[in-house]
Amino acid sequence: MSRRERAPGRHALYSAAEKHPLSCTVECSSCREETRVSYIELALLMVPVSLHLPWLRYHHSWFRCPACGRRTWLRVHLDR
């Protein structure tokens, strides 16, 4: 029986298909991945710099993608 339920060392990446409480998904314009992150992980990805232009573009937030690690434009889906 496996008891390995701890999150991996760096970013705990969940399947985008699963719904978790206090989490959302981010859709990356570079790698096209949609990655599930917790709100805490999302906040960590946005430091030290992030940019948000919700009216101008589909991928409206600029911060580090949890999937490919690049600083690029992403869309946050808080409803997913």
- Find the length of the chain: 80
Task: Look up residue 20 and give its two tokens.
Answer: 């978790």
Q: Which is nearer to Zn ion, 23 or 26 (CB)?
A: 26
Task: Look up residue 46 and give its two tokens.
Answer: 């946005």
One-letter amino acid for residue 5 of the chain? E
Q: Closest separation between CB of residue 2 and Zn ion, Å?
A: 29
Distance of alpha carbon 9 from the chain centroid: 16
Q: Given the rule CB under 5 A, which residues bind Zn ion?
A: 28, 30-31, 65, 67-68
Q: Closest separation between CB of residue 19 and Zn ion, Å?
A: 21
Q: Which is nearer to Zn ion, 37 or 67 (CB)?
A: 67
